[in-house]
Amino acid sequence: MNKEIKELNKKISGGKRIVLQIQEIKKKTGVCGWYNCESTENLQFAHVLETNVKGMGRGSWTRLNDYLQNKRSYMIYCEYHHKLYDSYKNEDEYEND
């Protein structure tokens, strides 16, 4: 964690601290992980391997904690490719039922 974040951590609430840590992870990643996509906007955590965290809107603390424990289970995609990935994933799950 960089020095600026450490200084902010001393001054802010726990919820805001978690949001900043998530933003820092996305910033370090820098671009969408989709092949040939160079988008740096609206980066999101996408489950590529299942973990105990499921569904949308799981909360910042839950998401950060799960990411830190299961980094290989996530990719960082732009919003468009995250939705595209989820649509492919959902089609596969539907066909396997």
Task: For the chain, 97 residues long, give each residue's pLDDT as a single digit of tens.
Answer: 556 656 655 555 656 666 777 778 878 888 999 999 999 988 888 888 888 877 665 556 777 788 888 888 888 899 999 999 988 876 655 444 4
- Burial environment of residue 22 by CB neighbours within 10 A (0 to 12, 13 to 18, 19 or more): middle
Tally Cβ neighbours within 10 Å of residue 45. Answer: 21
SS3 44: strand
Tokens of 10: 């001393």
Q: Across the strands, what pairs with 52?
A: none
* Per-domain residue ranges of the chain: 3-95
Is 86 within 8 Å of 54 (Cβ atoms)?
no
pLDDT at residue 35, as a whole number: 92
pLDDT at residue 56, as a whole number: 61
pLDDT at residue 84, as a whole number: 94
pLDDT at residue 80, as a whole number: 95
Whole-angstrom distance, CA of residue 2 vs CA of residue 82:
28
